[in-house]
Amino acid sequence: MSGYVFDTSSFSALFGSYYRRPFRSLWERFDALVADGSVVSTREVWRELEDRPLPALVEWEKTNGHIFATPTAAEGEFIARIYRVAHFQQNIEQRKLLKGGKHADAFVIAKAAAEGRTVVTEESIRPNAVRIPNICEHFNVPCFSLERFMDAEGWEF
């Protein structure tokens, strides 16, 4: 399967910057990709988004919550592969572990890897970092920004 797995940062950028009324054609196209299964995410992303109350996103989730899927066994196996790399263990911040914090990065990458999709995130690659693009690069999982997603879909407004 091809398509996209959206990270928390890209949902925040999309819903925080592009209002539905003035950007109708963008939303028609995005909603069509959601409807046909091309855009998905993970339950952990939704858990992170709950801490960023964007009214438009909360309303949208009522009819599109199905895209925030529970991880599969294959995704769980890929998450284990990620954290077998000692450097990537730094991806889970110690304070999040201690407080039971929310952390979707590995779940997003694993879903994309397991389903042959591209990660969409606003994080950028940095040398020696443990960010989504760095982990994606290590495992050859395609990854790009919301802007590149729009370019890949051929959207012009």
Sorted by where each starts, the structural domains of the chain and their CATH numbers stand as 4-152 (3.40.50.1010)
Low-confidence ranges of the chain (pLDDT < 70): 1, 90-102
State the chain's mean pLDDT as an integer: 89
Predicted TM-score of the model (pTM): 0.91
What does the pLDDT look like over 70-111, one tens digit per residue?
Answer: 999 999 999 999 988 888 776 565 545 445 556 899 999 999
Least Cα distance to 1 among 144, 115, 120, 145 occurs for 115
Closest listed residue to residue 10, CA positions, set 42, 1, 23, 25: 42
- Could you tell me what percent of the chain has a pLDDT over 70? 91
State residue 114's pLDDT score. 97
